[in-house]
Structure 1
């Protein structure tokens, strides 16, 4: 047997038997002259997760693989997360970052939601909305995960698993064209360079218009990776992430109503852009590096070392819809919108180094599966922010006179008959200029003990020591804050049968709040969670599911006081039920079903200085629907002897609070339907067609206030051709 086969079989044996939580790609080749089948296997373990079958995990998880993503037509992270009803869309910062709530809770409203890539923090920063080029699967890890992953989002963790070399020579090019002058090209190619070195190159380019007036965008990305099998026990993988996006800042549409009246949506078309095209696009850039080294001591023990460095930036001008208040004409005449202009120059750097050992051993009759590790990270958040806004309206004078006087200063635009460039764009003046640095050293340990063949107990904890420094370059003040935290977890899982297990879990989570200093003693956001659930695997594991009920308590929610200084006085709770079922119903019919009922509300009343109102206890949290459903069916059939997949999908989102400080403003419920077909003409060519929002429903995906509401896209079509080589 040749050297390549020997190494592959030895490494593959370890990868399959112990590291099956990572991705494993096996491919059979032609038999050799000796009648032995050549098999090449490459596997990389996911950090912080260990080796557990789904029925052994005492927490709810939803893993969206590449086939499901392809069937759903998901090209970006937003579309992928729509497949999980536990995830709700949040304010997307004019289309320039990913923001989501898991189980009703979101983190800092002034930063994008954090997500992980191969266990490394990657959502921190300003690199634009995440494209799925280069992503193999998306994992929705529900409930607090700080005991292993460290500080993160209060309701759960999103982890993206990247595409890596497979030691097979294969590739594909996908060409797509669709509504709104959308054109896209995707490339994915992997090949061995030697017996022990393989490369993979994934990239994309997209040039797109929009259903929104004057909005055009371009984005491109490249994700090359290299894997070196150092020897039979060791493997080194390097990945690079590059992306560049240019898209105008777009706050969406406004709800219209005179002062004291109900604000109504649908008064202006969904397409109406209320910014200024002459502001040009915002530019977002990412340059990241990941390096992982895995060493298998034997079949039972492994070590994993990793390093990640990621630089992101966001820069550009934007003219934005102004809030209702003392400067806003829209509440006075229902026609003219006051706007303000901002310039942003944001830069962020995130670096982390981690080391982990995992394995199994026995004490008496108890088997232990142990994960123990340490990591250190540093996050630098550099923000320069300029603003130009108009004057207050003198309500003692006629509205027409004030409109004539302040039209230019307040950048007024007629929402029914907009004239772009009617006034010179104002020059923004200094507003914020600061550098915030967060550093952390963490130690974590988890032990899952098999007390019997059916009963497992999981215990774990993480210790974090972190510091924050806030350098206010505008005032010349430098302040610091430090904290230590212990995040425990506990879980029990009982395997009732080979196909059913029941579990319960408790966990804690924390997230440092931006703006913490020694003077304001801004303690981190804290959450605790309990859940119980049932997991099942039917049809010999082809159909899997989880039913879970949960309760999450959150404290130290970030807000501002009457002087607009950061404070953390908010408390909230979220309770609910989740059902996730996916897999094969029959040999030719696949099901994807995700449903969530979520009741998320504040527990205490507090003053919101952003809008000058008192938010009562029991107020609904922003953009959280009580009921949410994602359903997809894939029927596999044939047409003229060629494979044909017919796909139908439905997303339902309940009505929800659209303005945290005005509980009377709600976004209506909506249902969108998608149909698609994938037709494989040959082994080298596949054609695809999809129609989204088939019934052309008018809907709104998220909002921050009644003047920042994001409309959903009308009916649209995308055609694609996939060439394999």
Structure 2
């Protein structure tokens, strides 16, 4: 067994207190979060010089990810991090993985820098492919068809940490990522951006919003991007358009209709590389970071996704309101690819197999929320009662064939064609899953105390039917689960808010044991305690947590090598610190630190006591922004960031580790209006990621490693009118 994590909260508490002590004397921003005075405001907030901007998401249908209400997330007794629009723009983010790089508890780019077709994170030690968009799940078929949202359409990203099943149903216990879309505005405003960058990048963005009538506001966002992939011979291309309207039907009713269409004709590489030549030395030398184990004539990934949704926000009376949030999805993906096998004795050549997948998915998600504010005695109750439902049907064709090997040090990228492939394995299946959840939550205020209590009951059903070369497939999962959540926070007059919470989550498990008994649901629970601080120019949070995941599949000691039983257990515990501080009117500083210990605490497969892959022991990031208020540099903005990711295990047996790494990013922008009135609305920005071109890696095991993202840069010209 690994030794317990040497947690020393005193040191981090000192850092938190130090940040608070450096807050400049200033008038506090009005952050009144009583009903009707939160995120539904469409007016800009005027701030005293140097104060932190409060969280303001413009759009009356916005709901805080951590509570599904419009209540302040800082009053939530559980970890939540917000990446706002300013940070997204300054860092030049394209993907949600890039957006959360500077967030505590989150490890991204698990399959390296060349793989951009999926959103995959490790949050508090647990892998998560499941993302949300405006509070609704982006329906993923667990194969290769995962809908993605481009950051051009996103206002901000919210990371809700720890078990979230009480509000969202089935979910890995580490947490979730929710992207908040850009919403229609009454004030007319349009912008055009043109970007050129490394890897032959060419990109154009448009964003236009305003009023069509007194009651209808619109927004249209569009994007075209094309560039070379990091892996040699590969390309990435994307076309996206996202129109939406807000219709104020009456004083009490708002209807939002939104659409998102994205076409990805090409999405780079997905193949891995062996550990020898990347993490380990190779007798032939190290492979280049653009090395590719695939084939230019058999490397295709085409995806098309269409999302159509609506939100109705209706005020019933002075106490109750109702919101319905719904979305339909229709998506397809076709893939031709390879995967590697063993490395030859001379360490030059890897064996390969070629495969294709042809996938289509259709689904619907809907969330009905009744919320009310009631005063009972000295307590204020913010009640939430909801019913949500999702259904997904996905057809998947998979074919697999032997193919030629490739010499990684003298590659021939034109060896494979469809005509010379003999597919010896075929799988043709239809997946269907359906989930219905009933939930209730009460957020209670009593003077300076805030209590959240919630519970949820889910019915989950899924089927997998079809055939494969070895026989028919007919699997079914039907599992029901109750999850709960309880937390308390105390708001002190000096801006400090200590809290403690308990939360549960669940994940359905398919299959059965050797006796034919269906597996039960895998469950998890978390204890979390910490302190949040907000006053003047400083926001900070410090949290300690422990998550225990149970009913994990492991080998059956009384069965064959393929027989599984549910006695496995994984424990994750750690500390997270986040600080945002306006050091002066011109300088803003953000920092995040993570210390975690994740361990397999019960297992029959020989990995008990080990740490899962993709879990760094420590992470540290910081971003410093400088915007001169006077002098010749007025109008310029400078930003620089440092990201440290600690070492990770190379494989599940923990025979070796992937080295830690430190990366540096920076950004420089300038408002051209400072040159004269004729330049009003024009600005430029130059940003660079991994500025010193640091080589780093991520690995699944010895046969599957990936290079991290190379140095990249871009120059963007923007015109607003």
User: Does the TM-score normalized on the shorter chain lie above 0.5?
Assistant: yes
Are 1:306 and 2:304 counterparts?
Answer: no
String of CA shifts for 1:330-377, please: whole Å, max 9, x gaps: 152211111111111122233122211112112222221111111121
* C-alpha deviation, 1:263, in angstroms: 8.1
2:635 corresponds to 1:622: no
Matching of residues 36-435 of structure 1 within 5 Å: 43-46=60-63, 49-89=68-108, 91-92=110-111, 94-107=115-128, 113-122=129-138, 124-125=140-141, 126-127=145-146, 129-245=148-264, 246-256=266-276, 267-322=286-341, 328=342, 330-389=343-402, 409=403, 411-422=404-415, 425-435=420-430
Q: Please say if residues 127 and 285 of structure 1, whose CA atoms lie closer than 8 Å, have aligned partners that are also in contact.
A: no
String of CA shifts for 1:154-188, please: whole Å, max 9, x gaps: 11121111011011110111111111101111111
CA contact under 8 A between 1:435 and 1:471: conserved in structure 2? yes
Q: Secondary structure at the match of 1:79?
A: helix
TM-superposed deviation, 1:264? 9.8
Deviation, structure 1 residue 266: 7.1
Q: Residues 443 and 522 (structure 1 numbering): CA distance in 2 closer, same or farther, change over 3 Å?
A: same
8 Å contact kept, 1:582–1:593: yes
Output aligned runs, 1:622-661, within 5 Å.
Answer: 622-637=613-628, 640=632, 642-660=634-652
| Partner secondary structure for residue 78 of structure 1 | helix
Query: Residues 136-171 of structure 1: CA distance to partner in whole angstroms, max 9, x if unpaired?
Result: 000011111111122112111211110110111101
- Report the 3-state secondary structure (helix = DSSP H, G, I; strand = E; otherwise coil) of the residue aligned with 1:412: strand
Task: Please point out which of 592, 596, 601 is paired with 2:590.
Answer: 592
Report SS of the residue matched to 1:133: helix
Instruction: Tell me how far apart the structure 2 counterparts of residues 180 and 584 of structure 1 sit (CA, whole Å).
Output: 35
Alignment: residue pair count = 655
Match of 1:478? 474
Provide the C-alpha distance between the structure 1 equivalents of 2:473 and 2:710, rounded to a whole number of angstroms.
49
| Deviations 1:393-431 (CA, angstroms, capped at 9, x unpaired) | xxxxxxxxxxxxxxxx5x211111112224655243333
- Tell me if 1:26 matches 2:39: no
Post-superposition CA distance 1:230-282 (Å, at most 9, x none): 01111000111111111243324321289xx9989972111111100001421
Residues 675 and 477 of structure 1: CA distance in aligned 2, closer, same or farther (over 3 Å): closer
| Residue in structure 2 matched with residue 397 of structure 1 by the alignment | none
- Deviations along 1:497-542, one digit per CA (max 9) or x if unpaired, are 2411100000000122355799451323311101001000122xx3
1:437 is aligned to 2:437: no
Q: 2:190·2:207 contact (CA, 8 Å) conserved in 1?
A: yes
Aligned 8 A contact 1:444 1:461 in 2: yes
**Could you say what secondary structure the match of 1:532 adopts?**
strand
Equivalent-residue separation in structure 1 for 2:401 and 2:38 (angstroms)? 51
Contact 1:188 1:200 (C-alpha < 8 Å) held by counterparts: yes
Contact kept in structure 2, 1:103 and 1:598, CA below 8 Å: yes
Unaligned runs of 5+ in 2: 1-31, 47-57, 674-679
Taking a change above 3 Å as real, the CA distance of residues 291 and 265 of structure 1, as seen in their structure-2 partners, is farther
Q: 1:466 aligns with which of 446, 460, 468?
A: 460
- Report the Cα distance in structure 2 between the residues aligned to 1:203 and 1:61, rounded to whole angstroms: 30
* SS of the residue 2:239 aligns to: strand
Q: Distance in 1 between matches of 2:36 and 2:166?
A: 21
Structure 1 residues 506, 197: CA separation in 2 closer, same or farther (over 3 Å shift)? same
Contact 2:312 2:325 in 1 (8 A): yes
SS at match of 1:253: coil
**What's the CA shift string for 1:630-651, capped at 9, x where partnerless?**
2111001156464111100111
Structure 1, unaligned stretches of length 5 or more?
1-14, 30-40, 108-112, 323-327, 390-408, 608-614
Kept in 2: contact 1:698–1:714 (CA 8 A): yes
- Report which stretch shifted further, 224-233 or 207-216: 207-216
**TM-score, normalised by the number of residues in structure 1:** 0.85
Q: 2:496 aligns with which of 496, 500, 522?
A: 500
Higher mean C-alpha displacement, 178-187 vs 556-565: 556-565
Contact 1:376-1:441 at 8 Å conserved across structures: yes
SS at match of 1:278: coil
Separation of aligned partners in 2, 1:118 and 1:440: 18
What SS does structure 1 have at the residue aligned with 2:152? coil
**Do the aligned partners of 2:271 and 2:337 also contact (CA within 8 Å) in 1?**
no
C-alpha root-mean-square deviation of aligned residues, in Å?
Answer: 2.7
Which shifted more, 376-385 or 584-593? 376-385
| CA distance, structure 1, for counterparts of residue 85 and residue 553 of structure 2 | 36
Mapped contact 2:80–2:161 kept (Cα < 8 A):
yes
Does the Cα contact within 8 Å between 2:395 and 2:430 map onto a contact in 1?
yes
Task: Map residues 672-691 of structure 1 onto 2, 5 A cutoff.
Answer: 672-682=663-673, 683-691=680-688
Aligned counterparts of 2:623 and 2:284: Cα–Cα separation in 1: 30
Match of 2:27 in 1: none
Q: Residue in 1 aligned with 2:19?
A: none
Report the CA distance shift for 1:98/1:233 in structure 2 as closer, same or farther (over 3 A): same
Q: Partners in 2 of 1:567 and 1:312 — Cα distance?
A: 35
Distance 2:381 2:617 in 1: 40
Specify whether residues 696 and 490 from structure 1 end up closer, same or farther in structure 2 by C-alpha distance, changes over 3 A only.
Answer: same
Structure 2 residue 705 is matched with structure 1 residue 703:
no
